[in-house]
Amino acid sequence: MIEHHLRLGSTNDEALRRAREGAMGPLFIIADEQFAGRGRHGKVWQAPLGNLNISLLLINAAPVAQLPELGFVAGVAVHGAICDLLQNAALSAALKIKWPNDIVHDGAKLSGLMLEAHQLQSGVHACIIGIGINCRASPEALPYAATHLSALAGRAIASGDVAKHLMAALGRELAIYASGTGFAGIRQRWLARAAGLGTTVSLDTGAARRTGLFQTIDMHGRLVLMIDGLEARFDAGDVFLNPSATTATSRKELETL
């Protein structure tokens, strides 16, 4: 089911409201304009008019412990949808997934998502995947580089066209994921599109800065770095593809309310 709104405060908030009313999903909530979008960790998500604001509501989509994996499912789907839309091998080759789920083009952020899980009545768990894709414009005054699809394609890209490709891609990747039993396949698809794999990256955990060789993600989606000859695994942190950089755009997220 698809619900299209001209204007909403937050597509994620609307998806949660619908879940509490009994919507069973999958349900897509799309807004042409989002005026109170939320980014990770309480940050404001800037959404210039013409960009895509979409949330997907899923009910009991996977075992509770595996719900964070849906962020990787969505990341692969967003990457695939953009490649399908652009139909340009050179542009697609420069599109990567920055751990765990931001889409970047030559390092400039193109898309981000926020995953939220909510326990409802009778043990039902609602998982909401909120996705923002820069279609016509990039937010201004950001502490990192950003771009948008129209600039990459050299033509106007409508958010509605992006939404159609994205919904189809999410359907494909969720089928591969198979309620959690297919995460191994999702993981391989994610690694094939990973930014910085095999290179030195830095991770700001909030308590310390760690630098190491980005080896892989494990079967739980944790970032695996080789540091001083030892493997270290991280659930969360700000990733720097350039270890000398001072800003970051990616963090593994799952907010359980």
Count Cα neighbours of 194 within 13 Å in the Cβ-side half-sphere: 24
Is residue 31 one of the residues assigned to a domain?
yes
* Same domain? 171 vs 208: no
* Same domain? 108 vs 148: yes
How high does pLDDT run on average in the chain? 89
Domain count of the chain? 2
* Same domain? 50 vs 99: yes
**Tokens describing residue 239:** 């990733």
Which residues, at least 6 apart from 142, have a Cβ–Cβ distance to it below 8 Å?
A: 46, 109
* Same domain? 64 vs 174: yes
Is residue 254 one of the residues assigned to a domain?
no
Q: Are the CB atoms for 36 and 9 separated by under 8 Å? A: yes
Is residue 162 one of the residues assigned to a domain?
yes
Q: Are the CB atoms for 239 and 98 separated by under 8 Å? A: yes
For 168-181, the pLDDT digits (tens) are 999 999 999 999 99
Is residue 256 one of the residues assigned to a domain?
no
For 197-216, the pLDDT digits (tens) are 999 999 988 889 999 999 99
* Domain with 39 in it: 2-191
Q: Are the CB atoms for 50 and 156 separated by under 8 Å? A: no
* Same domain? 37 vs 142: yes
* Same domain? 178 vs 238: no
Instruction: Give mean pLDDT, residues 48-56.
Output: 92
* Same domain? 18 vs 130: yes
* Same domain? 240 vs 169: no
- At 166 the three-state DSSP class reads helix
Which residues, at least 6 apart from 168, have a Cβ–Cβ distance to it below 8 Å?
A: 81, 84
* Same domain? 224 vs 172: no
Is residue 255 one of the residues assigned to a domain?
no
pTM of the full structure = 0.88
* Same domain? 88 vs 139: yes
Cis-peptide into 100, omega within 30 deg: yes
* Same domain? 155 vs 210: no
Q: Which amino acid is at 204?
A: D
* Same domain? 138 vs 90: yes
Count Cα neighbours of 210 within 13 Å in the Cβ-side half-sphere: 21
Residue 228 belongs to domain with CATH number:
2.30.30
Residue 84 belongs to domain with CATH number:
3.30.930.10
Q: Output the CA angle 161-163-165, nearest 5 degrees.
A: 75
Q: Which amino acid is at 171?
A: G
Find tokens 């030195």 and name the residue: 200
Q: Output the CA angle 112-207-232, nearest 5 degrees.
A: 75
For 110-166, the pLDDT digits (tens) are 999 999 999 998 789 999 999 999 999 987 767 778 999 999 999 999 999 999 999
